[in-house]
């Protein structure tokens, strides 16, 4: 029943081709533009063919965007801080949701989902005033603090489902044998949940890396703390954008998350879709 | 001892203690600001200070033609964006669900727009939409559809459509992945039985696949309505809400009022409208989710 005749095959592949063109064209064109010399890009109408492709823009961009290295470091630093903090808050909470029965358990779980639906834009004003009062505007903290809040809900849901996969019998057996809660946590839960923790940590990292715009343009004006998206966005305002270098820098900026995701896509997608599909 | 592990009250205390840090964090950074926004919407708060002004912000807002236009525009923008995401996502999922060579590679290749930072992806779209040198204008000029350079983001209507397309590009992968996951969850024996009864591929899609994945389609419509409603970065980077306000949605307007002009009170009133609409969406979504879960657990 899964056999397709040649015509059907051609139609399906053609459909996939059109669909994929829509999805991937921007990336392909960004990469192509990054390889072309600037005077080839600045021809109207668009020239499809360039004969002298090179990686020159990838060297030159460091001069054109002098703080690019710093922006990349900032993006990594911010995303790592957010991911680690998120894990610290989420591990105990997810464990409680996976293992204990308590009043308001389901209600609070759904409330968490509801929080996910609020855009950060709705709460910018009080946060702006709060950060200003605390003297935290224009600092790393101004981007980390709100970032963590918006990753906690999904991370709790994800990690909860990993904890639930660890058989409770193991813990009960250890408890009967006289192990303390701390011992159970160290010797049973921790090793068994490492894969889940890694996946949730990476999910938080990717999420934190991806959300570095709204809070960053609102709460931080200092160049030395800017992550890649806002750093590059500043350059678009300039009169003549060196598009080949801009595209090179953009691709370098998205590469880390893309690689992380490709290696771990199976686990992340499984975790995220499990809630919506099988639940 | 085992008794103690199961004892209800001890469990409750431990559970609350474990959840407390995350809960307090969210209360401080999300819940309190939400309430504070409501309070600020009744004041003329700015960097200078604040006074209670009652409903003034709301009266001004609702009597302004511009604001009513923004609300309508937001829903039109959302409607097109969400419908396109769902339709393209469903077609994409059907195509990638076909049992052909290379499908596992294609499944990974759909995801990049979803994963890369939206703000960086939009830099690419800025280049694609470039009126003189971009590839889209280029194809248009070479095929004769355009008779000269055309700035897609410079005119009201084309900017509106261009931001929708970019938003669809960002949102489609996730919809596709969820639909695909749902399609794979449909029990195989349903198809086998239908096949034995001589149902065509078309019949099998409309009579088995579609009804089976309807819950996921409904959930995804609501979720993507919520995300599309919240979409900020895409419009902000491509047009900043322009030209002449033609891509200013509620979120963009809220941001501009609050942090462009530092008129916190007026911004807060808009944020409250956004909040109420979001709560409606969220309420729908959660009620639906609860119903679907109940139905499944009853079966």
Which ipTM value was assigned to this complex? 0.86
| The two three-digit tokens of residue B54, written as one number | 């009652």
pLDDT-derived band at A50, boundaries 50, 70, 90: confident
Residue-range domains of chain A with CATH = 6-57 (no CATH), 66-237 (1.10.3720.10)
pLDDT of residue A279: 39
pLDDT-derived band at A275, boundaries 50, 70, 90: low
| A156 contact residues in B (CB cutoff 8 A) | 22
| A258 contact residues in B (CB cutoff 8 A) | 112, 115-116
Model confidence over A172-196: pLDDT tens digits? Answer: 888 888 888 778 877 888 788 888 8
Q: Which of B11, B119, B137 sits opposite A46 (nearest CB)?
A: B137
Task: Give the number of C-alpha atoms closer than 13 A to the C-alpha of residue A270, restricted to the C-beta side.
Answer: 10
- Rounded to the nearest angstrom, the minimum Cα separation between B70 and chain A is 16
Cα A37 to Cα B145: distance, rounded to the nearest angstrom = 27
CA dihedral A260, A266, A270, A272 (to 10 degrees): 20
- Rounded to the nearest angstrom, the minimum Cα separation between A43 and chain B is 6
The pLDDT profile of chain B, 299 residues, written as one tens digit per residue, is 455 445 567 778 888 999 999 999 999 999 999 999 999 999 988 877 888 888 888 988 888 888 999 999 999 999 999 999 999 999 999 999 888 888 888 888 898 898 889 999 999 999 999 888 888 888 888 888 888 788 888 889 999 999 999 999 999 999 999 999 888 888 888 888 888 888 788 888 888 888 888 888 888 898 899 889 988 999 999 998 878 889 999 999 999 888 887 888 888 999 999 999 988 888 888 888 777 777 666 65
A48-53: long-range pairs with CB below 8 Å, 24+: A48/B138
A46 DSSP assignment: P
- Rounded to the nearest angstrom, the minimum Cα separation between B65 and chain A is 22
Kindly determine whether residue B141 and residue A214, on different chains, have CB atoms separated by under 8 Å.
no
Residue B267 contacts A, CB cutoff 8 Å: yes
**The domain B69-184+216-298 belongs to what CATH superfamily?**
MetI-like (1.10.3720.10)
Kindly determine whether residue A148 and residue B285, on different chains, have CB atoms separated by under 8 Å.
no
| A86 contact residues in B (CB cutoff 8 A) | none
| A277 contact residues in B (CB cutoff 8 A) | 178, 181-182, 185, 216
Cα A257 to Cα A34: distance, rounded to the nearest angstrom = 19
Residue A237 contacts B, CB cutoff 8 Å: no
Strand, coil or helix: what is A4? Answer: coil
Q: Which of B108, B216, B237 sits opposite A265 (nearest CB)?
A: B108
pLDDT of residue B218: 87
Choose, out of A20, A61, A126, the residue to mutate when testing the contact with B (most B CBs < 10 Å): A126
- Rounded to the nearest angstrom, the minimum Cα separation between B103 and chain A is 9
Q: How far apart are the first and last CA of chain A?
A: 29
- Rounded to the nearest angstrom, the minimum Cα separation between A127 and chain B is 7
- Rounded to the nearest angstrom, the minimum Cα separation between B169 and chain A is 6
Q: Which residues of A69-97 are buried (b: 16+ CB within 10 A; e: fewer)?
A: ebbbebbeebbbbbbebbbebbbbbbbbb
How many interchain CB pairs under 8 A, A with B?
297
Indicate the average pLDDT of chain A: 85
Lowest pLDDT segment from A40-44, A153-157, A164-168, B263-267: A40-44
Kindly determine whether residue B99 and residue A2, on different chains, have CB atoms separated by under 8 Å.
yes
Closest-CA residue of B relative to A18 is B92
Residue A121 contacts B, CB cutoff 8 Å: yes
pLDDT of residue B297: 62
Residue A17 contacts B, CB cutoff 8 Å: no
HEC profile of A108-136: HHHHHHHHHCCCHHHHHHHHHHHHHHCCC
Residue A239 scores a pLDDT above 60: no
CB proximity under 8 Å: A 30-89 to B: 30, 33, 41-48, 88-89
Query: Of all residues in chain A, what percent are helix, strand and coil, respectively (each to 5)?
Result: 80, 0, 20
CA dihedral B159, B161, B164, B169 (to 10 degrees): -100
Q: Could you tell me the pTM of the whole model?
A: 0.88
CB proximity under 8 Å: B 48-87 to A: none
| B2 contact residues in A (CB cutoff 8 A) | 172, 175-176
Greater pLDDT, B147 or A272: B147
pLDDT-derived band at A274, boundaries 50, 70, 90: low
Mean pLDDT (whole number) for A91-101? 89
Lowest pLDDT segment from A140-144, A207-211, B73-77, B232-236: A207-211
Model confidence over A246-271: pLDDT tens digits? Answer: 899 999 998 888 888 887 777 777 76
Which sequence spans correspond to the domains of chain B? Answer: 69-184+216-298
């Amino acid at each position: 029943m899964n056999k397709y005749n040649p015509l059907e095959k051609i139609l399906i592949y053609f459909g996939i081709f059109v669909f994929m063109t829509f999805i991937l064209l921007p990336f392909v064109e960004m990469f192509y533009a990054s390889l072309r010399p600037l005077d080839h890009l600045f021809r109207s109408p668009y020239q499809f063919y360039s004969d002298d492709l090179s990686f020159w823009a990838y060297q030159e961009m460091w001069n054109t965007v002098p703080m690019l290295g710093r922006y990349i470091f900032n993006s990594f630093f911010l995303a790592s801080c957010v991911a680690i903090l998120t894990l610290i808050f989420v591990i105990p909470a997810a464990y409680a949701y996976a293992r204990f029965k308590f009043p308001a358990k389901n209600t609070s779980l759904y409330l968490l989902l509801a929080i996910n639906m609020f855009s950060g834009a709705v709460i910018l004003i009080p946060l702006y005033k709060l950060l200003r009062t605390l003297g935290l505007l224009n600092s790393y903290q101004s981007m980390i603090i709100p970032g963590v809040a918006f990753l906690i809900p999904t991370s709790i849901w994800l990690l909860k489902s990993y904890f639930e996969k660890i058989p409770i019998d193991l813990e009960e057996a250890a408890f009967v044998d006289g192990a303390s809660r701390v011992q159970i946590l160290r010797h049973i839960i921790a090793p068994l949940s490492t894969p889940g923790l890694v996946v949730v940590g990476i999910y938080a990292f990717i999420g934190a890396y991806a959300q570095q715009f709204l809070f960053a343009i609102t709460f931080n004006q200092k160049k030395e703390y800017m992550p890649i998206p806002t750093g590059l966005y500043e350059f678009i305002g300039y009169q003549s954008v060196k598009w080949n270098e801009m595209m090179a820098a953009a691709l370098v900026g998205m590469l880390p998350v893309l690689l992380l995701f490709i290696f771990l896509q199976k686990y992340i997608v499984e975790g995220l879709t499990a809630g919506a599909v099988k639940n | 001892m085992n008794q103690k592990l199961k004892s209800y009250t001890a469990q409750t205390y431990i559970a609350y203690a474990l959840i407390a840090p995350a809960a307090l964090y969210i209360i401080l950074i999300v819940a309190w600001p939400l309430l504070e926004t409501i309070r600020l919407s009744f004041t003329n708060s700015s960097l200078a200070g604040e006074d209670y002004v009652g409903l003034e912000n709301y009266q001004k807002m609702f009597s302004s033609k511009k604001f009513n236009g923004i609300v309508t525009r937001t829903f039109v923008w959302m409607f097109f964006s969400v419908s396109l995401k769902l339709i393209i996502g469903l077609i994409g999922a059907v195509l990638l669900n076909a049992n052909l060579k290379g499908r596992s590679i294609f499944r990974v290749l759909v995801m990049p727009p979803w994963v890369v930072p939206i703000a960086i992806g939009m830099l690419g779209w800025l280049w694609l939409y470039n009126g003189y040198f971009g590839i889209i204008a280029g194809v248009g000029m070479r095929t004769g559809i355009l008779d000269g350079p055309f700035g897609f983001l410079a005119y009201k209507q084309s900017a509106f459509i261009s931001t929708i397309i970019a938003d669809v590009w960002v949102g489609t992968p996730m919809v596709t992945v969820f639909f695909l996951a749902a399609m794979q969850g449909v029990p195989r024996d349903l198809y086998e039985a239908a096949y034995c009864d001589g149902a065509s591929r078309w019949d099998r899609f409309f009579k088995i696949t579609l009804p089976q994945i309807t819950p996921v389609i409904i959930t995804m419509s609501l979720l993507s309505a919520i995300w599309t409603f919240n979409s900020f970065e895409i419009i902000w980077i491509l047009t900043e809400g322009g030209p002449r306000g033609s891509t200013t949605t509620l979120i963009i307007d809220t941001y501009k009022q609050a942090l462009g002009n530092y008129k916190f009170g007026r911004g807060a009133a808009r944020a409250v409208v956004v909040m109420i609409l979001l709560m409606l969406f969220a309420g729908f979504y959660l009620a639906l989710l609860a119903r679907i879960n109940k139905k499944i657990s009853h079966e």
